[in-house]
Amino acid sequence: MYAAYRETFSRALKKQAMQILAGEGIEIIQSFEPIPLYEVMEGLGFEHHTEQTGDAEFHAYFYRKEVRQEEKFGEKNPDVKV
């Protein structure tokens, strides 16, 4: 069940993120800090800021600084060395 939700959420977020122009942003509210999204959204040209507003409430703000679409959503950039 969780995997299906995650897949649906990821597709919907990708669709939304790809439509955002440079200079615009998106807010995501989750019950956990969405750390996995940080690198993915960064690969699409977004910066982020996250605020914890409750025990299980996080507001993640993603601002699109530039449009980059070469990285596949949900996959690490192969040029990035860890």
Q: What is the pLDDT of residues 17-56, one digit of tens each?
A: 989 999 999 999 999 999 989 988 998 999 999 999 999 9
Short-list 57, 49, 60, 50, CA closest to 13: 60
pTM of the full structure: 0.74
Residue 27 · residue 63 · CB < 8 Å: no
Does the pLDDT value for residue 58 go beyond 70?
A: yes
CA distance 28 to 37: 10
| Local confidence band at 4 (pLDDT 50, 70, 90 cut-offs) | low
The residue behind tokens 């956990």 is 32
At residue 77, the pLDDT reads 46
Question: What is the H or E stretch that residue 40 is in?
Answer: helix 35-43
